[in-house]
Amino acid sequence: MSAQLISGRDIAATIREEVKERVTALNEATGRVPGLATVLVGEDPASQLYVGMKNKAAKAAGIHSEQITLPVDTPEDELLGVVQGLNANPDIHGILVQLPLPGHIDEHKVLLAVDPAKDVDGFHPVNVGKLSTGATDVLAPCTPWGVVQMLLRTGNDPRGKHVVVVGRSNIVGRPMASLLLRRGAGGDATVTVAHSRTPDLGAVTRLADILIVAVGRPGTVTADMVRPGAVVIDVGTNRVDAPDTERGYRVVGDVDFDAVKDVASWITPVPGGVGPMTIAMLLSNTVDAFEHLVGN
């Protein structure tokens, strides 16, 4: 048996087209379009690349996009002032402060300053709290929300399934579990959360109908740790040395893909799996925020 691939690229492309259609309809109904603002502090190349990708994707979907780039030595109070200005801007419906921030800035304080209704990253404590209590009218973190969409759109509804989430980060693991526990489409699962301190991790992962791995360590899950026929979602993105390649490295996930694909029924590749979903769901969240703030 060889698993069917879950192409995040294909699913993300479909969602982007859906977002574009929603934006067009909203513009016709209201005369306005959703607005997304990204705030970048410093010149980290990876952050610059990622913010650029977000802005390009937003514009392609018809979303008004603004990028605010600040020097690396920007005082915390100045950054907070920028955020407050965006909170008050009626043309901006989604705010994303690119992380990480320079060491002299308190990331928690900045994230707390973002209006929860414009928090399209889903990291504000208000949105975290709403999600953890089962609310459906909430802006969910983009990566786990993207995983839910991947499952639903490939016919792997988690309802009634035992889902094991490996990883407990605030970005993926914890919100992933909260989404899967919610009532309704994409939820109603029995969820187990495991992590790096879980004894005999394989004994836990082998219980999973759906296995979601997000620990940031290559090769964490091997074939013997996967129940035959399970759906495997690999959220990990890791660089490993590959001297035989032009770049000198290759990108792999947290799952031993080559071995696990012969055990699983469905599996996400890395790259091309979960990664493309994050920006697609950011665009979707921005339109959701517009609809909540402006109406549809």
Query: Which pair of tokens denotes residue 133?
Result: 């209590």
Nearest Cα neighbor of 137 from 287, 292, 280 is: 292
Which residue, chain included where needed, has tokens 């029995």? 190
First-to-last alpha carbon distance for the chain, in angstroms, is 47
**Distance in angstroms (rounded) separating the CA atoms of residues 181 and 185:** 10
Catalytic residue among 54, 130, 161, 261: 54
Which residue, chain included where needed, has tokens 């990108």? 251
Which residue, chain included where needed, has tokens 């792999």? 252
- Cβ atoms of 80 and 113 closer than 8 Å: yes
Can you tell me whether residue 180 is helix, strand or coil? helix
Query: Is 98 an active-site residue?
Result: yes
Catalytic residue among 115, 119, 121, 256: 121
Find the DSSP H helices in 31-124. 45-60, 76-88, 107-113
Q: For residue 11, what is the enclosing H or E element?
A: helix 8-30
Query: Is 254 an active-site residue?
Result: no
**Distance in angstroms (rounded) separating the CA atoms of residues 251 and 241:** 9
Nearest Cα neighbor of 112 from 294, 292, 121, 41 is: 121
3-state secondary structure string across 117-153 = HHECCCCCHHHHHHHHCCCCCCCCCHHHHHHHHHHHH
Query: Is 44 an active-site residue?
Result: no
User: What single-letter amino acid sits at 208?
Assistant: A
Catalytic residue among 98, 130, 254, 256: 98
Which residues does the annotation mark as catalytic?
A: 54, 98, 121
